[in-house]
């Protein structure tokens, strides 16, 4: 368990605070929606309400992460966000195709939703069109992905944040700041097993101490790519949920945990870990939990 000497940034989006010293704020959980097939809006609305109810019980905020794969899905997904998501709930948009990214940003601006938007993500593959679209349609918050294909160690992740690792002209932090994004989250880029996947966890305290920025990752990706777990179907869901405790234990602020369907398993696990960390850091470092924290809510 950690306490950092660097001043830790705490950012607020809607009613949610992200960042700070370990034990101060609850771990934020990003749950993915619409990964495969056609978006199912009816069941998604029902499931989101169920998850928000569980979140209210544990005090761990859940942020829906909308995966937008195709241009033809843009309007319907964003209209769903606008009409069905509670107005005090932020959301993230996860888009791979550069041309779709541009149109997503434009439509979010048109619907006046950028103040609730977390852009997932800015990385070394950013194009000029995407860069210009972000400058014209700037989201409230963005995740920068510390993926360095030349060096997948924690030092390599810092290098791509700092100077682009000679892969791009500027470091990702400067790129985000030059766009005009004032609230930056760092994703330490969890990779497949055998590809220095553990560096995603080891890099969390390194980046928190170096920059003071809210930091986390999608450790679910490592579980998903651990194909040997397919031989233990009864245990895979347990591994998937419990893997997320490593993030707050190493000082992280948020977890991108995969499908929103896993939220009902992950929320109590993370709440338990947040309580454990809070008890220790208050006794040892004098960090008291915020009024909205699992330890305040459940004990």
Instruction: Convert the pLDDT of each residue in 166-212 to its tens digit.
Output: 999 999 999 999 999 999 999 999 999 999 999 999 999 999 999 99
Average pLDDT over residues 27-35: 97
Say how many C-beta atoms besides its own lie within 10 A of residue 13's C-beta. 23
**Can you give the pLDDT at residue 233?**
85
**Can you give the pLDDT at residue 97?**
93
- E strand or H helix at 122, and its extent? strand 117-122
* 125: its two tokens: 């593959």
Q: Is the pLDDT reported for residue 1 higher than 80?
A: no
Question: pLDDT digits over 57-87, tens only?
Answer: 999 999 999 999 999 999 999 999 999 999 9
Q: How much is the mean pLDDT over the chain? A: 97
- Contact by Cβ (8 Å): 148, 196: no
**Can you give the pLDDT at residue 85?**
97
- Contact by Cβ (8 Å): 140, 13: yes
**Can you give the pLDDT at residue 234?**
87
| Neighbour-count burial of 231, counting CB atoms closer than 10 A to its CB (0-12 exposed, 13-18 middle, 19+ buried) | exposed
C-alpha pair distances (Å), 263 with each of 51, 57, 217, 255: 7, 13, 16, 11
| Residues in CB range of 49: below 8 A, 6 or more apart | none
The pLDDT confidence band at residue 2, using thresholds 50, 70 and 90, is confident
Read off φ and ψ for residue 80, nearest 5 degrees. Answer: -65, -45
**Can you give the pLDDT at residue 30?**
98
Question: pLDDT digits over 231-247, tens only?
Answer: 998 899 999 999 999 99
Read off φ and ψ for residue 92, nearest 5 degrees. Answer: -120, 155
**Is the pTM above the cut of 0.85?**
yes
Domains of the chain in start order, with CATH, are 10-298 (3.20.20.20)
Read off φ and ψ for residue 63, nearest 5 degrees. Answer: -115, 120
């Amino acid at each position: 368990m950690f306490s950092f000497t660097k001043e830790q940034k705490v950012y607020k989006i809607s009613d949610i605070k992200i960042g700070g010293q370990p034990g101060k704020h609850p771990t934020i959980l990003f749950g993915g929606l619409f990964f495969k097939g056609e978006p199912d809006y009816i069941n998604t609305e029902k499931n989101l309400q169920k998850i928000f109810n569980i979140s209210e019980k544990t005090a761990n905020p859940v942020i829906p992460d909308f995966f937008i794969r195709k241009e033809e899905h843009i309007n319907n997904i964003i209209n769903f966000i606008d009409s069905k998501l509670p107005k005090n709930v932020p959301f993230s948009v996860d888009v791979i195709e550069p041309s779709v990214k541009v149109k997503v940003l434009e439509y979010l601006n048109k619907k006046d939703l950028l103040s609730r938007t977390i852009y997932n993500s800015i990385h070394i593959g950013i194009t000029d069109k995407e860069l210009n679209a972000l400058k014209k349609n700037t989201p409230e918050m963005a995740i920068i992905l510390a993926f360095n294909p030349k060096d997948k160690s924690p030092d390599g992740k810092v290098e791509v944040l700092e100077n682009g690792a000679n892969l791009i002209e500027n470091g990702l932090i400067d790129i985000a700041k030059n766009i005009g994004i004032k609230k930056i989250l760092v994703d330490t880029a969890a990779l497949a097993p055998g590809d220095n996947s553990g560096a995603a966890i080891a890099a969390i305290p390194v980046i928190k101490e170096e920059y003071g920025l809210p930091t986390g990752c999608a450790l679910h990706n490592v579980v998903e790519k651990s194909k040997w777990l397919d031989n233990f179907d009864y245990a895979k869901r347990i591994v998937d949920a419990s893997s997320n405790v490593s993030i707050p234990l190493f000082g992280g602020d948020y977890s991108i945990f995969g499908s929103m369907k896993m939220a009902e398993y992950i929320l109590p696990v993370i709440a338990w870990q947040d309580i454990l960390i809070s008890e220790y850091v208050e006794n040892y470092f004098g960090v008291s939990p915020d009024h909205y924290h699992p330890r305040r809510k459940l004990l």
